C-alpha cells in the first residue's frame, strides 16, 4: 500500500529506478512479492487488485519461507541466471516477458540470482522509497538497549556528537594525553555487511582516517600543518566485526621525540563481552613532513595495465561468494585494468560527501576496496585462461611501512597498486605499493610496502559441482 501511495504522489519517478532500488538497494526478507509489468499504470493496477482482494493474477507472484527451510536446485538457479543474461539480447516483447516471469518466480522462492545483471550498463540510481512497514506491536525496552542509550548520553551529553569528524565524536583528552572517542552503533554507512554470521565489519581503513584526523586536529596546538601527514610503522591486529550491539573506539596519541606522535586505536564492546579489556585494533606513529605535490599521467598508468579488464558488474560478481557483501552504494569501483604485477581502478564519487567540514580524506570504503585490487595484480599469472574467479574472503591489511597523506581538498578517484620490491611472492600474503589520485592525477596518498592478507580463490568456470555431488568438467 505504501508503494502504491508513493507512486500516486511521485508519478515522475522512473519505474526502472524503483525496480533498481527495491532489488538492489533493500534487504530481501522471507515474505516476498513480485510483479512483472511494462508500465507504471500496469503496476498501479496490479497493486490495487492485490490490495482489494489479495487474489494472485498472472503477473503477480508471492511466497514466504523459513530461512532454514530454503533450498536451491542448481538447475533452476542456472536457468534463472541464464534468463537474466539472455534478456540483454531479446527484442521480442513476449519472449522478454517470459524470461522475466521465470526470474520473478524464482526470486519470490528465495533463489539468490545475479539480479545486478538486469541493470547492466543502464545507469539507474537508488531513489528514496517508503521503508518496510512494521507490525504495530508494543514491547519493553531491553536492558541492552538501555545500556546503549546510557552509553550514548555518556559520550554525547548534549544529545548529539561534537561537530568534529565522522570518526571522532568526542575529545576526551586529559593530563595523560590526547584522546578521542567514538560510538559505533552499526548504522554507519562505511560499515561492510558480513555474509554468514550477520552484523558488520569496520574496514581497516577507518583506523587510518581516525589517526589522520586526530593528528590533524592536534596539529593546531602543535603549530604544525594539517595538510601533510605521514603514518609510519602501521600495524593492524585483527578486523573488528560488530555482530550485535555497538562498540566504542578510542584513539590515543602519545608524544615522542622529534615532533612525532605514537598512536593506538582500541575497541571496547558496549555489551558484556568475554574480552573485558579493550582490544587494540591499530597502532603506529604520526609525523609531520612535507609531502611534495605529485601528478601522474593516468593514461600512461592505464597503458601498463592492459592485459585484462573488468567491468563493475564483473568485478563485484567475483565477491558473491566472499564473507562480506558490499551494499549497492558501496560498490564504487567502476572499472579495473590489470597488468603484470599491477592494477588500476576508477572510483565513483557517489558515496563520498562533498561537505568539506565532514569530508574524510582517507575514506574507509575507498581504502577497503583499494585493498581488494591486490587480488588483481597476479590474476593473469594464476589464471592465464582468464576464467572468472570467486573470492571466499576479503583482502585484509596487516602492516604498512609508511603512508604519506596530502590533503588536496579533492576526493581520491583513482587507485593504482603494484607489487612492492619487498614482496616475497607468498600466496597467503602480498606486499604492495598503493597510490590514490584525484580526478586530475594529483597524488592524495601513497602506501609503501603495504602487506595484505590475500583471500582464497575458486576458479568456478573450470570445475563446477553437479547436483548429485560429482565434479563436472
Q: Which of 281, 270, 452, 292 lies closest to 372 in space, CA to CA?
A: 452
pLDDT computed for residue 162 by the predictor: 43
pTM strictly above 0.75 = no
DSSP tag of 307: S
Which whole-number Å values give the CA distances from 162 to 159, 377, 415, in the listed order?
9, 41, 32
User: For the chain, which residues make up each domain, given as ranges?
Assistant: 2-119, 153-287, 298-458
N-terminal to C-terminal alpha carbon distance within the chain = 49
pLDDT computed for residue 210 by the predictor: 94
CATH class, domain 2-119, is mainly alpha
pLDDT computed for residue 352 by the predictor: 62
Q: How would you write the pLDDT of the chain (473 residues) with one tens digit per residue?
A: 788 888 888 878 888 888 888 888 777 888 888 989 888 888 888 888 888 776 667 788 888 887 666 677 888 888 888 999 888 888 888 889 888 999 999 998 888 888 888 887 777 777 887 776 655 566 554 544 444 444 444 444 433 444 568 899 888 887 677 899 999 988 888 899 887 667 889 999 999 999 999 988 877 655 566 678 999 999 999 888 876 668 899 999 988 777 788 999 999 876 655 556 788 999 999 998 888 899 999 999 999 998 888 999 889 888 877 888 888 888 999 999 988 889 999 998 765 655 545 578 899 999 999 998 888 887 766 666 666 677 778 889 999 999 999 988 888 899 999 999 888 777 788 899 999 999 999 999 999 999 999 877 655 433 332 333 334 43
Considering the four listed CATH numbers 3.40.50.2300, 3.10.129.10, 3.40.50.1220, 3.40.190.10, the one that applies to the domain covering 153-287 is 3.10.129.10
CA distance 166 to 185: 13
CATH class, domain 298-458, is alpha beta
CA distance 187 to 427: 35
pLDDT computed for residue 46 by the predictor: 86
Q: Which residues of 361-392 are buried (b: 16+ CB within 10 A; e: fewer)?
A: bbbbbbbbbbbbbbbbbbbbeeeeeeeebbbe
What is the helix, strand, coil percentage profile of the chain, to 5? 30, 30, 45
pLDDT computed for residue 355 by the predictor: 52
CB 304 within 8 A of CB 341: no
Half-sphere exposure of 216 (CA within 13 A, CB side): 20
pLDDT computed for residue 232 by the predictor: 95
Give yes or no on whether 2-119 and 298-458 have one common fold.
no
CA distance 43 to 33: 12
Helices within 237-336 (DSSP H only): 298-304, 312-317
CA distance 444 to 363: 12
CA distance 3 to 129: 8
pLDDT computed for residue 354 by the predictor: 53
E strand segments, 155-278: 170-171, 178-184, 192-194, 200-202, 228-236, 240-242, 247-255, 261-269
Amino acid at each position: 500500500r505504501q508503494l502504491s501511495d508513493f507512486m500516486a504522489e511521485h508519478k515522475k519517478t522512473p519505474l526502472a529506478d524503483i525496480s533498481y532500488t527495491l532489488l538492489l538497494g533493500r534487504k530481501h526478507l522471507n515474505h516476498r512479492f513480485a510483479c512483472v509489468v511494462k508500465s507504471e499504470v500496469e503496476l498501479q493496477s496490479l497493486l490495487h487488485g492485490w490490495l482489494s482482494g489479495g487474489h494472485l493474477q498472472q503477473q503477480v507472484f508471492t511466497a514466504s519461507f523459513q530461512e532454514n527451510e530454503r533450498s536451491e536446485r542448481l538447475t533452476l538457479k542456472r536457468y534463472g541466471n541464464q534468463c537474466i543474461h539472455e534478456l540483454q539480447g531479446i527484442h521480442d516483447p513476449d519472449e522478454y516477458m517470459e524470461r522475466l516471469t521465470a526470474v520473478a518466480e524464482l526470486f519470490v522462492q528465495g533463489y539468490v540470482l545475479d539480479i545486478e545483471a538486469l541493470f547492466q550498463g543502464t545507469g539507474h540510481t537508488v531513489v528514496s522509497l517508503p521503508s518496510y512497514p512494521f507490525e504495530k506491536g508494543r514491547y519493553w525496552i531491553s536492558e541492552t538497549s538501555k545500556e546503549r542509550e546510557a552509553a550514548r548520553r555518556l559520550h554525547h551529553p548534549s544529545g548529539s556528537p561534537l561537530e568534529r569528524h565522522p570518526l571522532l565524536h568526542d575529545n576526551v583528552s586529559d593530563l595523560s594525553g590526547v584522546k578521542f572517542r567514538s560510538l559505533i552503533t552499526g548504522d554507519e554507512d562505511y560499515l561492510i555487511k558480513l555474509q554468514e554470521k550477520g552484523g558488520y565489519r569496520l574496514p581497516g581503513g577507518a583506523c587510518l582516517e581516525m589517526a589522520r584526523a586526530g593528528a590533524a586536529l592536534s596539529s593546531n596546538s602543535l603549530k604544525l600543518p594539517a595538510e601533510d601527514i605521514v603514518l609510519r610503522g602501521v600495524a593492524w591486529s585483527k578486523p573488528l566485526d560488530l555482530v550485535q550491539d555497538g562498540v566504542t573506539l578510542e584513539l590515543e596519541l602519545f608524544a615522542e621525540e622529534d615532533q612525532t606522535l605514537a598512536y593506538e586505536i582500541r575497541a571496547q564492546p558496549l555489551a558484556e563481552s568475554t574480552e573485558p579489556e579493550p582490544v587494540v585494533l591499530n597502532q603506529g606513529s604520526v609525523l609531520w613532513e612535507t609531502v611534495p605535490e605529485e601528478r601522474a599521467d593516468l593514461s600512461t598508468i592505464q597503458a601498463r595495465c592492459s592485459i585484462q579488464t573488468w567491468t563493475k558488474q564483473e568485478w563485484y560478481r567475483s565477491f558473491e561468494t566472499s564473507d562480506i557483501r558490499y551494499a549497492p552504494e558501496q560498490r564504487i569501483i567502476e572499472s579495473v585494468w590489470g597488468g603484470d604485477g599491477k592494477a588500476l581502478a576508477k572510483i565513483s564519487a557517489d558515496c563520498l560527501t562533498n561537505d568539506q567540514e565532514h569530508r574524510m580524506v582517507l575514506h574507509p570504503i575507498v581504502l577497503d576496496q583499494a585493498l581488494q585490487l591486490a587480488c588483481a595484480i597476479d590474476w593473469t599469472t594464476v589464471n592465464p585462461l582468464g576464467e572468472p574467479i570467486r573470492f571466499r574472503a576479503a583482502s585484509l591489511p596487516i602492516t604498512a611501512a609508511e603512508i604519506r597523506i596530502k590533503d588536496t581538498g579533492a576526493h581520491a578517484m583513482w587507485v593504482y597498486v603494484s607489487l612492492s620490491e619487498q614482496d616475497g611472492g607468498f600466496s597467503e600474503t602480498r606486499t604492495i605499493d598503493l597510490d590514490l589520485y584525484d580526478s586530475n592525477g594529483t597524488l592524495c596518498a601513497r602506501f609503501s610496502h603495504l602487506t595484505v592478507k590475500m583471500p582464497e580463490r575458486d576458479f568456478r568456470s573450470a570445475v563446477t559441482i553437479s547436483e548429485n555431488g560429482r565434479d563436472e568438467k
